[in-house]
Structure 1
Amino acid sequence: MGTTIGFIGAGEMAEAIISGIQPSGQFTALTVINYSDKVKLNRLQHLYNVNVTNDYENAIRDKDIIVLAVKPKNLHEAILSIRPFLRKNQLIISVVAGIRLATIEQWLPKETVVIRAMPNTSAKVHASATAISIGTFAKEKEIKLAKNVFTSIGSVSIVNDDQMDTVTAIAGSGPAYFYYLAEIMINTAIEKGLSAEEARAFVAQTMLGSATRLSVSEKPASELYQEIMSPGGTTEAAISYLNESNSNLHFKEAIHHAYNRSATIGQTFLTSKK
């Protein structure tokens, strides 16, 4: 029998994880609860053959792992709803952005085993870059269990909890940055005469090739793009304009905004509820 999982929440991150882990066969009896959107629940049931429920006890009963996948503002209420039904040998995994381990452990019964994770939506294609941080009472068994979940949808790294805001800004939000850039490149290509299909194919393959090269090369990113820059050439013209317009600084500031937002969420909930 595989590992059983209950999902509290049915949003994009829950779906990304479910769609990634479901084909592996390691995880069974996937159950999802979500009070705010029954349409999403029905969709998940249809697409991934998961069990759905509106009963918290049913969602977590006999589950090895309970994944908290709600919005930060709803996490405290969700934990209060499941507290009466928790067992000591269950592993709680939070994929909620910003809210720290200390806060989650404070809201849960004493000595509850908690691991905090930050995957991204590339889990849908088994390519998530996931960071996990380990709670006070988690032992090697629970760490291995969490790793099994997230290695089934991509890579996993263990970080300190105080590094999770950085991971959130880089890896959690990161796919959106690349999609944003892809949108600009695709739209510009269409404006310059390519069809939408051609533009999308060229951009997707170019991004895939660049990511692959970066992952296998020992060279820094700066050296990789400089290799493409012939003096007086097209790439130099583009990169020079980006540098002159301080695009690198603007993008860096955007990442800082994501980091600061994650940190603010954590501080807001650190002592706001007992």
Structure 2
Amino acid sequence: MDSNLRIGFIGAGNMAYGIAKGVLQSGDVPSSNVKVSAPSARNFGRFQELGVAVTHSNAELVSSCDLVFVAVKPHLITTILSEITDHVTRKHIIVSVAAGVTLATLQGLLPFDTVVLRLMPNLPCLVQQGALLFSRGTWARQEDGDLLRSLLQHCGLVEEGPEAWIDIHTGLSGSGVAFGAGQLLRDSGKHPAQLRSEVCTPGGTTIFGLHAMEQGGVRAATMTAVETATERAREMGRKSAPTATENRK
């Protein structure tokens, strides 16, 4: 791996932090080569403890990085990509972790032939016990996937698969950890209610799944929860799809 690789994170939430910790743990990428951007400084402290630079400018981050993780909520994807599209070049690798947002939508909002990968991590990345699945976009090469896999190897199990698997993975492994996160609960020292709030985005896949569990018995509801969370991921993707061609270059 190129030790000069510069990595950026747009978004300073739990997923960005968990991935950043894993990337830095490998020792292949120095903390001085990592930067995170967010509109608020609220979560900057823990990144700064890792030795990571911070900024409020997404454009600045993209201009100074080679590989950029877009770790924001799905409803913000259009706004964020519209903001950075003029700064994305052929040298960039864009990795989205937004649930439900398809590769077609991402590619439609970025310059033609941008290298895009879609990644679905989960909260146990925070303790390097995650399950991560990624898919490559139209212009992403095998070596781009190999690079991503190498960067994420300390976050947990990393696999590549067809995009059709991503929403299922979202419901089973992404949201599913909220339905039984034993090791994370043990290692974090946090109250279960706090962990639940950290993974339950209002209107997101996990809260839909948990609501389904509350509708009936645990065994039947567990199956329904995964199915409901998976369908919610697909629904979120359908809602974002109409904007796909608006900013195509």
Fold-level similarity (TM above 0.5): yes
Q: Is 1:178 equivalent to 2:194 in the alignment?
A: no
Residue 182 (structure 1) shift: 9.7
The answer for the alignment partner of 2:231 in structure 1 is 260
CA contact (8 A) 1:103 1:269 kept: yes
Residue 266 (structure 1) shift: 0.4
Q: Is 1:141 equivalent to 2:112 in the alignment?
A: no
Structure 2 residue matching 1:167: 3-state secondary structure: helix
Q: Distance in 1 between matches of 2:235 and 2:112?
A: 26
Structure 2 residue matching 1:176: 3-state secondary structure: helix
Residue 124 (structure 1) shift: 1.8
Residue 252 (structure 1) shift: 0.8
Tell me which of the two structures has the higher relative contact order, counting C-alpha pairs closer than 8 angstroms and 6 or more residues apart: 2
**Residue type of the partner of 2:81?**
I
The answer for the alignment partner of 2:38 in structure 1 is 34
Structure 1 residue matching 2:111: 3-state secondary structure: coil
Correspondent of 1:59 among 41, 61, 67: 61
Residue 159 (structure 1) shift: 1.3
Q: Is 1:104 equivalent to 2:106 in the alignment?
A: yes
The answer for the alignment partner of 1:44 in structure 2 is 47
CA contact (8 A) 2:133 2:161 kept: yes
Instruction: Please give the per-residue CA displacement for 1:18-38, whole angstroms capped at 9, x wherever unaligned.
Output: 122222222231100001x21
Aligned pairs for 1:70-219 within 5 A: 70-179=72-181
The answer for the alignment partner of 1:13 in structure 2 is 15
Decide whether aligned partners of structure 1 residues 180 and 25 sit closer, same or farther in structure 2, where only a CA change above 3 A counts: closer
Decide whether aligned partners of structure 1 residues 74 and 182 sit closer, same or farther in structure 2, where only a CA change above 3 A counts: closer
Q: Distance in 1 between matches of 2:44 and 2:90?
A: 28
Moved more, 5-14 or 25-34: 25-34
Instruction: Please give the per-residue CA displacement for 1:80-121, whole angstroms capped at 9, x wherever unaligned.
Output: 111111120111101111101010000010000001011112
Instruction: Please give the per-residue CA displacement for 1:117-148, whole angstroms capped at 9, x wherever unaligned.
Output: 11112112221111011100011221111111
CA contact (8 A) 1:3 1:26 kept: no
Q: Distance in 1 between matches of 2:56 and 2:137?
A: 28
Residue ranges of structure 1 left out of the alignment (5+ in a row): 187-196, 201-244
Aligned-CA RMSD value: 2.3
Q: TM-score, normalised by structure 1?
A: 0.73
Decide whether aligned partners of structure 1 residues 254 and 181 sit closer, same or farther in structure 2, where only a CA change above 3 A counts: farther
Decide whether aligned partners of structure 1 residues 61 and 251 sit closer, same or farther in structure 2, where only a CA change above 3 A counts: same
Q: Is 1:250 equivalent to 2:230 in the alignment?
A: no
CA contact (8 A) 1:101 1:115 kept: yes
Residue 61 (structure 1) shift: 2.2
CA contact (8 A) 2:8 2:34 kept: yes
CA contact (8 A) 1:127 1:155 kept: yes
Q: Distance in 1 between matches of 2:153 and 2:176?
A: 19
Instruction: Please give the per-residue CA displacement for 1:148-178, whole angstroms capped at 9, x wherever unaligned.
Output: 1221311111111121110001111122111
Of all paired residues, the percent bearing the same amino acid is 29
CA contact (8 A) 1:42 1:52 kept: no
**Residue type of the partner of 1:44?**
F
Q: Distance in 2 between matches of 1:57 and 1:246?
A: 48
Q: Distance in 1 between matches of 2:146 and 2:71?
A: 20
Q: Distance in 1 between matches of 2:225 and 2:74?
A: 21
**Residue type of the partner of 1:40?**
N
Q: Tell me which stretches of 4 or more aligned residues in structure 1 moved more than 4 Å.
A: 180-183
Between structures 1 and 2, the one with greater helix share: 1
CA contact (8 A) 1:2 1:26 kept: no
CA contact (8 A) 2:127 2:184 kept: no
